Amino acid sequence: MNAIGIENLRRPYAEGGVNLLDVRARNDAVALTVLQSYMKSPPERPVWAYLVDHIFRLCAVRRYQTVDSSLLINPFVQSWDVYTQAKGLPLVFKRMYSTGRKYSVSIHAWSPQVALQLKMPYWWHVGTKGKLVSVYNDKWGKCIQRTHHLSSVGDLLAHANKNQAATCSERVNCACINCIEDRALGCEHPPKCRRNAGKKLSNLLDIWNPLKASQYIAVGAQPQIPGQDPEWTPVVPMHENYAYPHEAARIFTLDAFSTCRPTLNNEHMNNDIAPSSSAEGAQVITVWTDGSCSDNGTKYAAAGSGLWYHAQNARNRAIRLPGEYLTNNIAEVMAVIAAIQDNGNVPCLRIITD
Q: Can you give the binding site for Zn ion, defined by CB under 5 A?
A: 143, 147, 168, 174, 176, 179, 187, 193, 290, 354
- Provide, rounded to whole angstroms, the least separation between the CB of residue 43 and Zn ion: 34
In this complex, which beta carbon is closest to Zn ion, that of residue 89 or of residue 150? 150
Give me the least distance between CB of 305 and Zn ion, in Å please: 10
Q: Which is nearer to Zn ion, 141 or 210 (CB)?
A: 141
**d(Cα 72, Cα 81) in Å, to the nearest integer?**
10
Q: Could you tell me the smallest distance in angstroms from the CB atom of residue 304 to Zn ion? A: 11
Contacts of 75 by beta carbon, 8 Å cutoff, 6+ apart: 56, 60, 81, 82, 97
CB 84 within 8 A of CB 97: yes
To Zn ion, the closest distance from the beta carbon of 162 in angstroms equals: 7
Q: Pick between residue 240 and residue 290 the one whose CB is nearest to Zn ion.
A: 290
Query: Which 3-state string (H, E, C) describes 154-205?
Result: HHHHHHHHHHHCCCCCCCCCCCCHHHHHHHHHCCCCHHHHHHHHHHHHCCEC
Which lies closer to Zn ion via its Cβ, residue 140 or residue 208?
A: 140
Smallest separation (angstroms) from Zn ion to the CB of 176? 3
Q: Which of 44/354 has CB closer to Zn ion?
A: 354
Instruction: State in angstroms the smallest separation of the CB of 48 from Zn ion.
Output: 35
Q: Rounded distance, CA 179 to CA 183, Å?
A: 6
Radius of gyration, CA atoms only, the chain: 26
Residues with Cβ within 8 Å of 270's Cβ and at least 6 positions away in sequence, in order, are 286, 309, 310, 311
Between 176 and 338, whose beta carbon lies closer to Zn ion? Answer: 176
How far apart (Å, rounded) are the C-alpha atoms in residues 280 and 272?
20
Eight-state DSSP code of residue 282: P
CB-based contact 349:343 (threshold 8 Å): yes
Which is nearer to Zn ion, 86 or 269 (by Cβ)?
269
| Cβ–Cβ under 8 Å, residues 160 and 173 | no
* Distance of closest approach, residue 152 Cβ to Zn ion, in angstroms: 16
Give me the DSSP letters along 287-330: EEEEEEEESTTSTT-EEEEEEE-STT-TT-EEEEPPSSS--HHH
Phi, psi (degrees; rounded to nearest 5) at 200: -60, -30
Least gap, CB of 331 to Zn ion (angstroms): 8
Q: Name which of 126 and 193 has its Cβ closer to Zn ion.
A: 193
What's the min distance (Å) between Cβ of 170 and Zn ion?
Answer: 6
Cβ distance to Zn ion smaller for residue 160 or 187: 187
Helices (H), 77-152: 91-102, 114-119, 139-142
